[in-house]
Amino acid sequence: MLLEHHVFLEYRLDSPGNVLEQKSEMQGGIETMTGSEPKEFALVGVAMKRLVSGEQTEGQFCLFENRSGGQTKTPIHVHADDDETVYVIEGQLIAVVNGEARTLSPGESIFLKRGVPHQLMNPGNQPVRYILIGTPSVFQRFLAEAGRELQQGEMVGPPTAADIERLKAVAPRFGITLLPDWPPRE
């Protein structure tokens, strides 16, 4: 038996490109999702606004709009249980995959396959905005525990020592291995 699901996402944006409203529809077990006030989290100095939750997609994926004001980078890490897709909306983001850096500009994307070490960076002082899609929705649960929920209007600052310790403690429970450096290439 073949079971197909099709997910359609629709966003209403204001002129700078901020998401004002989201609507999505899953066909195959038809479910319509209309955006309520999305939750926003901070992780390693990046603001991550959840636009589509794993609950809305039956765990198939989660979708976030991420913002970095600059001088941010994730630890070098590997996901065992999920893949990530990144699509840049504004600014430039550096994706380092297996030790090789690639600069992503608006309209460019990259697929970060599970099992492959990677790191995302915004080393400059210019803002960057990008969409992150986690498949399946493991990342959403990880973020809820490893990050911290932002309050309305709260600005994201550099991560504190407590933020880093929480990240290190939570990562293994979600199949994420933090690496001290790039593994040697074969």
For residue 23, what pLDDT band results from cuts at 50, 70 and 90?
low
Over residues 41-67, the mean pLDDT reads 96
Residue 94 · residue 104 · CB < 8 Å:
yes
Is a pLDDT exceeding 60 seen at residue 154?
A: yes
Mean pLDDT, the chain, as a whole number? 87
Residue 77 · residue 177 · CB < 8 Å:
yes
The answer for residues whose C-beta is within 8 angstroms of residue 49's C-beta and 6 or more apart is: 19, 38, 39, 40, 41, 64, 65, 66, 67
Over residues 148-174, the mean pLDDT reads 94
Domain limits of the chain? 38-179
CATH number of 38-179: 2.60.120.10
Question: Within 13 Å, how many C-alpha atoms sit on residue 64's CB side?
Answer: 28
Q: Which residue has the tokens 């030790």?
A: 99
Task: Tell me, letter by letter, the H, E, C secondary structure of 57-81.
Answer: CCCCCEEEEEEECCCEECCEEEECC
Over residues 139-157, the mean pLDDT reads 94
Which is more confidently placed, 26 or 140?
A: 140
What is this structure's pTM? Answer: 0.81
